[in-house]
Structures are given as C-alpha cells and as structure tokens.
Structure 1
Amino acid sequence: MRILVVMDPIQHVNLKKDSTMAMLWAASRRGHSLSYIEQSDLYLDQGKAWGLTADLKVFEHQADYYHLGEQVKTQLADFDVILMRKDPPFDMNFVYTTYILEQAEREGVLVVNKPQSLRDCNEKLFATQFPELQVPTLVTSRASLIREFIATHQDVIVKPLDGMGGTGIFRVTHGGLNIGATLEMLTSLGTVPIMAQRYIPEIVDGDKRILMINGEPVPYCLARIPQGGEVRGNLAAGGLGEARPLTEKDREIAEKVGPFLRDKGLFFVGLDVIGEYVTEINVTSPTCIREIDAQYGTSIADLLFDVIEAKRSAS
C-alpha cells in the first residue's frame, strides 16, 4: 500500500516513546511505501485534496532513523491510507486539516482515524457519553456551578477541554486557596467551558491507558503512575509507565465502549481509566505503544496494520 503519515516534525520525535514511529516501522517491515507530510502542507485545489509530500524511509536505530525525499505536489487520492497522527492542540488549524482529509476520504482514501470523528469526539467530552463509566463530571464555563460542584464533592480535578499530556490540570478542594484564580484562568474569565471531575484516589496506583484497535482492547495497558507528589500520571508530566495485563473490569469497560469506536471509524484509540472509571477517550494521536511493546514483547502496531490491511483490501 501507499501510506501517507500526517505528523509533527519527524526530526523532533522522542524516538524511545513515539507511537507514530512504531506504526511507520511496522508498515515498512510489511513492504508498504511511506510518504510524509506536515499539517501546513495539506491543501485543497479545485475541490480536490492535495499535499506537498515527501517520500519517507524509516530505520529502526537511534542515530539515523529516517530519510526524507524532496517535497512534491501529490493528490491525496494517490494514497491507499493516510495516518492522521498530528498531536493536539485541537485548534481551528486541526479542524481545517480534518476537512481536507475528509475530502481525501471522499476520493477513496482510508483515513485513520476518520476525520469527522476526530472533530466530533472531543477527548474529554466523548467520555461523557458513558456516564455509567464516569465519576461525577461537570462541564461548564460558570464559576458558580463549579464552586457548587466542589462544595458537593470536596476534592475535585478541573481541566481544560483541549489539553494534552496533563497540561492545565489542577486539583482543588473545598475551602482551598486560589480556587477563584484557577477557575478564572481555565475558563478565560467565564467564557470557555472546562471539565470538573470528582477526584479519584486510585490515581496513586496509576492512570491506565488502554489501547483499542478497531474496538478491541490490546491485552496489556500502561499504568502511568504519578511521581514526586504530582497529581498527574501523564508521562509528559513525569509519570512512571508500568505495563500491566488488563483486569476483568478493564475488559468490561472496553466491551462497552468498543462498538461505539467501530461505528465511528476510530481504529486506534486510547481509553484513560483511573480505578474503575473512564476519564478520557483519546482519538487524535494516542501513544503508549512503545512502552507496552518494550515491557511485554508485543507488536501493537502490527495488530493495527492487520486491521488496516483487511479494511483496505475489503474496500
């Protein structure tokens, strides 16, 4: 297959942790040809989806892990598969990119994940479609409502709806200092909605990332354990990653969410689970492949490409 990857600058990836590189290595081992593009190089011309793409070779060693050819104008319909792996922020540039990729999809390309679903399924808000799997959760821009929520639940996490890697996450308690300033900052003085969730004490045992491939869970998750008095377990915030087999409860959660992911064309998704509760459903560019592979000898990217190849051959 001809595969195009949309990603952040490849020269800046953290090779030890980058899940996109794991996907590209798996595709290369299978004999697929690769091309590379950044978000700003996608465009529409007379209603057709185009890009300034470069041939990409990848190598599985630290010193020299990629080689890029010269950029050329390419119609996106020339590709069989596009991997959309651009990291958040989920801003208007990201939204515009999904429109271009949606045009490529109309022209016959398989886009992973589905562009419309990337727009529809905000990683914080999507989880609210499964209230039975969540702790008490409030989404609002009104400080008065959030203060009521804090008074009711006493210990609360507040966070922006468009963050990643644990950025902008605060733990606040009833009667605590700086609640007003925290809410003013996160809500931009009451103009932007944020999420408030009852604090889950089980975070000390790890914020589990359960990877889902076409609605089915990978048998192992990565528990991201907060370090040094941190509230956040995110690896980007210094959390320690410990791979573990899924528990029976993890599998129950995956079984409930999985059909919705398949219906929405979300081939590769990361469920964030603390204790027995889903906190987020990550659809943009989920990670943790490398950490789980390293600790359990799995090849999660190959599981993904089994699905992609089957889907492409059936179309």
Structure 2
Amino acid sequence: MRSLKVAFLMDPITGINIKKDSTFAMLLEAQARGHECFYLEMADLSVRDGRTLGRLRPVQVQRVEEAHFTLGEAELRPLSDMDVVLMRKDPPFDMDYIFATYLLEHAGTWVVNNPVSLRNANEKLYALHFPELMPVTRVSRDIGQLRAFLEEEGEIVVKPLYGRGGEGVFYLHAGDRNVGSILETVTGGGAHYIMAQRYIPAVREGDKRILMVNGEPMPGGMLRVPAANDFRGNLVAGATGVAAELSERDLEICRRVGPSLREAGLIFVGLDVIGGFLTEINVTSPTGVQEIDRFFGLNVCAKLFDVIEAGIQ
C-alpha cells in the first residue's frame, strides 16, 4: 500500500488525554503504517471558488505525556490534496458543526464519516430507524405529553437531542416534585424537542459501548458502570469502564444496524446498548478505542485503516 495523505479534523491536540483519546490512537496507527498525517481544527476550514481548503499542519505523535505531538508549518491547501479526511471533531452538535459538514461536502476527497450522514444521523434520533431495538421512547417538546409519558411509565430518562457525555440527562420518577422544573429546563419551556425513554434498571450494571467499523462490530465492548451516586453511564460523568463481551442480543442489534451504517458511509460508529436495548448511535467522534483495545488485546484502528486503505486502492 502506498503512503497516504491523511488529514485529522479534530479538537485542539494540546488538550487531549493520550491514554483515552480515540483520535490519538488513530494518529498513532496511521503514522505506524507510514502515512503522512496532517492536523487541522474547525477554524482552519474555508471555501474558495467551490473548493474547501484547510490550513493543514504536518503532525507527528508519540505516546509521551506533555510531549505527545509535533506540528509543522501550516499551509493553506485544498482538502482534495488529501487521500482521506477523518472528521473527528467532538460534539456538541451545534450550528458550527453543521456548517462544517456542508463545507466538507466540497472537500473533493473521501471524508470519514460521510458529512451528509453526520448531519442526518443525529446521535439520539437516528436510532428511531430501528424502533424494535429501542426502549419505549417519546420525542416531544410538549410538557404535558412528557408528563403523561412519565405517569404511564413511572420512571423515565429525558435528554436533549444535541448533548454529549451525559450533559442535560435526567432521571425522573412519578411523584417527584421537581418534574415540572426539570421538564421546563430541558425543553427550554417547551421550545426544544427532547427524547424521553423508559428507564432501564439494567443501567446500574452499565451502558455498553460497541464499536462498529464499516458496519461490523469489534469483538468486545466496554461496559460503562455508573458511579454509586449517579445513574449515567458516561465516563466523563464518573462512570467506570470495564470489559464487556458481546451477547447474542448485542450481535443481533449489530446485524440489524450494520448494513444501514455502511450504506450511509458511516465507517466508524459507536452503539450504546443498555439491558439489550439500543439507546444511541454515535457517529460524530465515537470514543472507547483505547479502553477496548486494552481489555481485549485488539487494535481497533488497524481495522479502521484496513477499511480506509482498501477503499482508496
């Protein structure tokens, strides 16, 4: 395989945790394969005469704390000079993120994940294409409807449609006098849609992250076990990651979702599964690579770059 030019559009490299960051693992793998790596941030994108440009800086990485990267001189050049661009900007999925996907449509090269599908596949709402795999779910901005759903279920979880890392996620139970205030807060007084789902008690055992590469699951996942004083299975919210084998139900979910991911050009995806129910399909910049690699002796990024190299040949 010839050496590729690989651009990584990501958050500031200065602030990443090299023990956990999935994009850092991708950089290491690309570099180990002899590919030429370039770094850019959202502010480095622009368009001239219908072509998207990037202020690209050559980057080299090493697994050394506080000395994990070296950047070369920035050069403004067409993204079409690259063989592939990896879109690894973290949420929030705000208007700037959406505008960046429009710009990336004009990159003139392969963007992973597909920018049109990044825009279309909201990480909460995309799972609605597979209702038979999900817990009982409502999406609404009507506080009365949400209250009625809570009364039907007794316990629910509500979450904004654009958040990350458990931000703005609440557990509600019937009879809680804070319900009205919480629903007003998360819907902005009825101005914003939210997702409400039946509470799954199995969340105490953990929220399972399954990584999908080109529609196929990696052979092992990560169970994110909530802290004793929280219900959220998010590492940034204090959850602990532990190794998790994939059950037959997990594999069934993967088989059902995988073809749609491939068709949409969603090459690298993280599924969230709680108690055998699909809760989210994470497409923006899924995490968990380094943890799953350590738990199972894998190299997730090797599989990713096998797919990328095969797609470019």
TM-score of Structure 1 vs Structure 2, range by shorter chain? over 0.9
Deviations along 1:84-105, one digit per CA (max 9) or x if unpaired, are 000011111001100111101x
**Corresponding residue for residue 92 of structure 1:** 95
* 1:46 aligned partner, one-letter code: D
Aligned mate of 1:5, from 5, 8, 12: 8
**Corresponding residue for residue 25 of structure 2:** 22
Query: How far does residue 110 in structure 1 lie from its aligned partner after superposition?
Result: 1.0
Deviations along 1:6-64, one digit per CA (max 9) or x if unpaired, are 00000000111100000000000000000000001100011111011111111123242
1-side partners of 2:148 and 2:309: how far apart?
A: 50
1-side partners of 2:211 and 2:295: how far apart?
A: 15
* 1:90 aligned partner, one-letter code: F
Three-state SS of the structure 2 residue aligned to 1:227 is coil
TM-score of the superposition, structure 1-length normalised?
0.97
1-side partners of 2:125 and 2:295: how far apart?
A: 31
* 1:189 aligned partner, one-letter code: G
**Corresponding residue for residue 151 of structure 1:** 151
**Corresponding residue for residue 216 of structure 1:** 216
Query: Does residue 199 of the first structure (1) align with residue 202 of the second (2)?
Result: no
Deviations along 1:176-204, one digit per CA (max 9) or x if unpaired, are 12111111111111010000000000001
* 2:174 aligned partner, one-letter code: H
- For 1:301-312, what aligned pairs fall within 5 Å after superposition? 301-312=301-312
1-side partners of 2:222 and 2:46: how far apart?
A: 37
1-side partners of 2:175 and 2:113: how far apart?
A: 43
**Corresponding residue for residue 179 of structure 2:** 179
**Corresponding residue for residue 251 of structure 2:** 251
Three-state SS of the structure 2 residue aligned to 1:118 is helix
Aligned mate of 1:45, from 35, 45, 48: 48
**Corresponding residue for residue 141 of structure 2:** 141
Can you give the 5+ residue segments of structure 1 that lack an aligned partner in the other structure?
Answer: none
* 1:284 aligned partner, one-letter code: T
Query: Does residue 103 of the first structure (1) align with residue 87 of the second (2)?
Result: no
Can you give the 5+ residue segments of structure 2 that lack an aligned partner in the other structure?
Answer: none
Query: How far does residue 241 in structure 1 lie from its aligned partner after superposition?
Result: 0.2
2-side partners of 1:300 and 1:187: how far apart?
A: 37
2-side partners of 1:48 and 1:296: how far apart?
A: 42
* 2:154 aligned partner, one-letter code: Q
Range moving further from structure 2, 227-236 or 216-225: 227-236
Deviations along 1:141-178, one digit per CA (max 9) or x if unpaired, are 00000001000000000000000101111000111121
Query: Does residue 64 of the first structure (1) align with residue 42 of the second (2)?
Result: no
2-side partners of 1:95 and 1:135: how far apart?
A: 28
Moved over 2 A (4+): 60-63
Query: Does residue 121 of the first structure (1) align with residue 124 of the second (2)?
Result: no
State the aligned residue count. 310
Three-state SS of the structure 2 residue aligned to 1:103 is coil
**Corresponding residue for residue 58 of structure 2:** 55
Query: How far does residue 72 in structure 1 lie from its aligned partner after superposition?
Result: 1.1
Three-state SS of the structure 2 residue aligned to 1:164 is coil
1-side partners of 2:63 and 2:300: how far apart?
A: 16
Query: How far does residue 310 in structure 1 lie from its aligned partner after superposition?
Result: 0.4
CA contact (8 A) 2:18 2:63 kept: no
Query: How far does residue 77 in structure 1 lie from its aligned partner after superposition?
Result: 0.4
2-side partners of 1:179 and 1:165: how far apart?
A: 22
* 2:176 aligned partner, one-letter code: G
